[in-house]
């Protein structure tokens, strides 16, 4: 009878691939969905810009946008810096995935969605110099006439945007991944060793 404590530890390929299949499934599905929908939008939505295609009138539409920044167009025009940041985040995600134990399936899945979305937007930023966005919530945000102060910045008050920024499937995948990670972090208690 073999002692489980003396069993050999899994090698690199097992720890990175075979034991972490939820990560790779989520990454590949996210990346294919993102690049396929961007290719569709490039062929269908971009040629009619700035016109939009109504999907659900007064709620959802397809509208073309080429984002030279990150979310909400922050760091506009700083493609090299954003590419470096994205690569560092993706590398960090891969390290977390590798170090996670195989039983943390939801954590690994969340990392996969976040990585797939990040790679999708990085692909656009490196090859095109901008990120292709096309999903548009076609209604005014509540409170868009209000202004808010940013505590970390001096200067005039900032207005709440009238519309939610145009986004893409990669952004949705990143949100799903981050949401899963937040739920797991805040609502999952670590098991305490027995006898303590």
What residues are annotated to the active site?
A: 133, 171
* CA distances from residue 192 to 16, 19, 54, 183 in whole angstroms, order as listed: 26, 24, 53, 20
Q: In whole angstroms, what is the distance from residue 79 CA to residue 130 CA?
A: 8
Kind of pairing, strands 53-56 and 60-67? antiparallel
Q: In whole angstroms, what is the distance from residue 38 CA to residue 120 CA?
A: 10
Instruction: Provide Rg for the chain, Cα atoms.
Output: 21
Residue 180 makes CB contacts below 8 A (sequence gap 6+) with 106, 107, 109, 110, 113
Sign, CA dihedral 65-70-72-73, equals negative
Q: Do 179 and 39 contact (CB within 8 A), yes or no?
A: no
Phi and psi of 85, rounded to 5°?
-60, -45
């Amino acid at each position: 009878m073999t002692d489980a404590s003396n069993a050999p530890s899994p090698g690199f390929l097992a720890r990175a691939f075979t034991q972490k299949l939820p990560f790779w499934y989520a990454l590949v599905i996210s990346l294919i969905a993102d690049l396929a929908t961007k290719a569709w939008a490039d062929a269908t939505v971009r040629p009619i810009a700035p016109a939009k295609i109504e999907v659900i009138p007064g709620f959802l539409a397809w509208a073309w946008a080429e984002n030279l920044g990150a979310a909400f167009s922050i760091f506009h025009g700083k493609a090299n810096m954003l590419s470096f940041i994205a690569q560092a985040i993706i590398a960090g995600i891969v390290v977390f995935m590798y170090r996670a134990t195989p039983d943390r399936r939801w954590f690994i899945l969340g990392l996969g969605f976040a990585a797939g979305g990040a790679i999708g937007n990085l692909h656009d930023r490196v090859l095109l110099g901008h990120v292709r966005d096309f999903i548009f919530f076609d209604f005014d945000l509540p409170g868009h006439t209000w202004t808010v102060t940013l505590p970390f910045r001096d200067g005039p008050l900032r207005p709440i945007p009238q519309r939610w920024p145009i986004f893409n499937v990669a952004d949705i995948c990143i949100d799903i991944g981050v949401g899963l990670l937040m739920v797991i972090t805040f609502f999952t208690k670590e098991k305490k060793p027995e006898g303590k």
